[in-house]
Structure 1
């Protein structure tokens, strides 16, 4: 079993609903969702190019997937997550926009957000004691020749190359897209998401995701609101 600490809007949020329909799966219920009808793309094209993010569910990764270290349990992780979220406040997100990340598409803030980067680094460091070290097999699956010195250091220190100074907040929308299809997907995704992205987004919770067995789709285990208990009651 693996866990991940992510951000995702609530199940009823319009962005969650739209993204779940685009990916074809709801990470809260685990249920398949009917793909949207888009004139320029066939349903098979959408399904094929969203297969990877569909398994992980709509989210932004803060603490990448990890197995629990020896002596750590799920109840312990939940207690620490509850305590951690009580010590941090919600963060207004810069407007999200559709961006290219290499040969993939994602939603990402239109400008840097230091508070967001600080929270992500805090999550990585605080919960690293719960992470089992990477196995030799897991390390062998990483293409280390493509990593920078900083990314290589992160891989061995925190179990993933794209954390700490290498972190970029993003919510993945596709797997690798062919170069000839990139312009069509970019146009479609902007048209599909831009009306929803006009609405301000807040990072108001941390979400614990769980993969029950290797290769299984990740599901939202629980949402943990940011802010003190008293502040949550007032809200």
Structure 2
């Protein structure tokens, strides 16, 4: 399995016309569905170059909430089969709403998180983890070693071996990443900036989940290559 082969991920992506999608693309400076750079938010505390620096890491993945973490296709499976599996999975799901989201610090980075637990979202993620695992090639030794550098619990280590990602099932916490790792002072400034921008964005209502999306990474950032509306 070559590290140069494409990676895929099943993510939650807000509808392209939604205020939430516009907010996320603006913050990260990239619309991964069109491939176009997005206008940055109106910044009071940062110059544009600094802002691009602190959002560089999440920009590689595009605005999203992880449902099935990035993976390479196992030999013998095709993108066409994965596309069909995503469509079937979505067709069997019904849209649902979670309480709104808020800008929150998670360790050293900032993200959007639901303001209350959302059981339906947890169930959706768990379903994606298992439904698409037959398409996932095992992690390479290098990828496993890199993951094990982080402080993981025994259960998270087991998840890494079984599912290719430590933060699944009981350890899943839905979030949509907005920055890379920041020191305390920079994080405080960025949090204030993002909260102001989010409050003005029109995206602070209920989180409506009505589709999943397939992302693909070749040599550059991930790109959103297909959306699958829920059909039930």
Output the TM-score relative to the length of structure 1. Answer: 0.93
Q: 2:224 maps to what in 1?
A: 220
Q: 1:41 maps to what in 2?
A: 46
In the alignment, the residues of structure 1 paired with residue 173 and residue 62 of structure 2 have an alpha-carbon distance, to the nearest angstrom, of: 18
Shift of 1:199: 2.7
Q: Which moved more, 1:56-65 or 1:175-184?
A: 175-184
- List gaps (5 residues or longer) in structure 2: 1-5
Shift of 1:105: 0.5
Aligned partners of 1:97 and 1:197 also within 8 Å = no
Match of 1:72 among 59, 70, 77: 77
Aligned partners of 1:97 and 1:194 also within 8 Å = no
Q: 1:90 maps to what in 2?
A: 95
Q: Are 2:204 and 1:198 aligned?
A: yes
Q: 2:86 maps to what in 1?
A: 81
Aligned partners of 2:214 and 2:225 also within 8 Å = yes
Aligned partners of 2:210 and 2:230 also within 8 Å = yes
Shift of 1:153: 0.5
Output the TM-score relative to the length of structure 2. Answer: 0.94
Shift of 1:144: 4.5
In the alignment, the residues of structure 1 paired with residue 47 and residue 139 of structure 2 have an alpha-carbon distance, to the nearest angstrom, of: 39
CA deviations on 1:60-101 (whole Å, 9 max, x unpaired) are 010000000111101111111111111111120211111110
CA deviations on 1:165-198 (whole Å, 9 max, x unpaired) are 1101100000001111122111111110123233
Q: What secondary structure is seen at the aligned counterpart in 2 of 1:119?
A: helix
In the alignment, the residues of structure 2 paired with residue 64 and residue 5 of structure 1 have an alpha-carbon distance, to the nearest angstrom, of: 7
Q: 1:232 maps to what in 2?
A: none
- List gaps (5 residues or longer) in structure 1: 229-235
Q: What secondary structure is seen at the aligned counterpart in 2 of 1:192?
A: helix
Aligned partners of 2:211 and 2:229 also within 8 Å = yes
Q: What secondary structure is seen at the aligned counterpart in 2 of 1:41?
A: coil
In the alignment, the residues of structure 1 paired with residue 207 and residue 153 of structure 2 have an alpha-carbon distance, to the nearest angstrom, of: 32
1:89-128 correspondence runs (5 A): 89-128=94-133
In the alignment, the residues of structure 2 paired with residue 3 and residue 186 of structure 1 have an alpha-carbon distance, to the nearest angstrom, of: 30
Q: Are 2:227 and 1:211 aligned?
A: no
Shift of 1:32: 1.4
Q: 1:135 maps to what in 2?
A: 140
Q: 2:8 maps to what in 1?
A: 3
Distance 1:107 1:129, change over 3 A: same
In the alignment, the residues of structure 1 paired with residue 88 and residue 42 of structure 2 have an alpha-carbon distance, to the nearest angstrom, of: 43
Number of residue pairs the alignment of both structures matches: 226
Aligned partners of 1:3 and 1:209 also within 8 Å = yes
Q: 2:155 maps to what in 1?
A: 150
